[in-house]
Structure 1
């Protein structure tokens, strides 16, 4: 995997749904438009929840990486319409 630009890192490993998405939402509120947060998670539900969260709100899911135990998501903060 190539290195990705990241402004913030949010480690939610060990937490279960809905906590990772709630923490992501809280983090994105603190960020500037265009900044990227790398979300680390261990809950398989995030594979479904994070893309849906980004689709519902104006954020862009830049990339994902997953293996058997950890999931990584890079999310760019979008601008509210």
Structure 2
């Protein structure tokens, strides 16, 4: 099962290079993010919902950008916030 958002999502250039950390957490002096995610609309890189500050979910809430993917090495799954569907 998939949705139109997942079908239409393309791979953007990340706004920040992968350096092993959530840029917003690092800027705030925090080091307790769990995993990183990449917004497929704009390339925003942020921490996941298992992280205390949940920057990727906050990004979706503020922008409405529907699809993100894992930004962890070796992972390629995607998530649609709008339809709450997992995709590849």
Whether the TM-score (by the shorter chain) exceeds 0.5 is: no
TM superposition score normalised by structure 1: 0.36
Bigger proportion of residues as helix:
1
Larger radius of gyration: 2
The higher-RCO structure (CA 8 Å, 6+ apart) is 1
TM superposition score normalised by structure 2: 0.34
